[in-house]
């Protein structure tokens, strides 16, 4: 087995996932995964640049970072790359006004975005808010557009909570794609653009990074 020093030769930065890597979600906010608080601290003491790259789309970065700090992690909001802020950037660049089908916990990320007279739809892991009525509304907005544009914050199939497996945003993305005969634009992992933006924010080239 290669030594760590060998594996890390030429590596200048590390992208860390959050959910399922640093902590497991669940009742009361969740729990840090054993050893992860110290691992982050060691990385930050090393010569490596560190950035957190998550598909979390139920919480704002502020709420997520608050939770991680309470669990003991050394992390700040400016170190987190998340799909909602990335989507806001795209919406502004392309002059798009979204109809939002998102969890209330992440809505504040879109505070600066014009949502009047929508000309696209943004969906995220909305949990219980994926009601028939809300899905049908998003569908109707898309069908009324000449060029329906759908953004999906991630495309995960499901995730695990203490209460069991939970449907993620991906299945609902597929539902709207099929209903409207369109293909969604995924903002978040595994989109290469999303990883690139995280590396840019870290000031590291792709070949210099390890995740």
Q: Which residues bind a copy of itself (CB under 8 A)?
A: 126-133, 135-136, 139-140, 143, 157-158, 164-168, 170-172, 174-181
CA gap 89, 168 in Å, rounded: 23
Per-residue tokens: 7: 């594996």
**Omega of the bond leading into 173 within 30 degrees of 0 (cis):** no
* CB 195, min distance to a copy of itself, A: 22
Per-residue tokens: 149: 């544009």
Nearer to a copy of itself, 35 or 181 (CB): 181
How large is the greatest C-alpha to C-alpha distance in the chain, in angstroms? 58
* CB 174, min distance to a copy of itself, A: 4
Nearer to a copy of itself, 149 or 184 (CB): 184
Q: Is the dihedral of CA 170, 190, 107, 21 positive or negative?
A: positive
Nearer to a copy of itself, 107 or 174 (CB): 174
Nearer to a copy of itself, 70 or 157 (CB): 157
* CB 159, min distance to a copy of itself, A: 11
* CB 100, min distance to a copy of itself, A: 16
Whole-angstrom CA distances from 91 to 79, 86, 88, 134 are: 22, 9, 5, 21
């Amino acid at each position: 087995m290669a030594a760590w020093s060998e594996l890390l030769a030429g590596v200048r930065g590390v992208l860390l996932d959050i959910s399922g890597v640093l902590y497991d979600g669940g009742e009361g906010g969740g729990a840090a995964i054993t050893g992860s608080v110290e691992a982050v601290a060691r990385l930050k003491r090393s010569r490596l640049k560190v950035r957190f790259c998550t598909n979390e789309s139920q919480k704002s970065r502020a709420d997520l970072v608050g939770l991680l700090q309470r669990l003991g992690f050394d992390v700040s909001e400016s170190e987190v790359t998340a799909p909602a802020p990335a989507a806001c950037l795209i919406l502004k660049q392309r002059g798009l006004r979204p109809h939002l089908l998102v969890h209330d916990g992440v809505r504040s990320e879109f505070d600066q975005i014009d949502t009047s007279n929508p000309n696209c739809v943004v969906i995220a892991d909305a949990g219980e808010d994926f009601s028939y009525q809300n899905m049908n509304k998003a569908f109707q907005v898309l069908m009324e557009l000449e060029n329906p544009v759908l953004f999906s914050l991630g495309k995960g199939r499901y995730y695990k909570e203490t209460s069991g497996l939970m449907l993620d945003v991906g299945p609902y993305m597929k539902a709207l794609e099929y209903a409207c005969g369109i293909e969604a634009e995924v903002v978040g992992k595994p989109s290469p653009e999303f990883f690139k933006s995280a590396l840019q924010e870290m000031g590291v080239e792709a070949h210099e990074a390890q995740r």
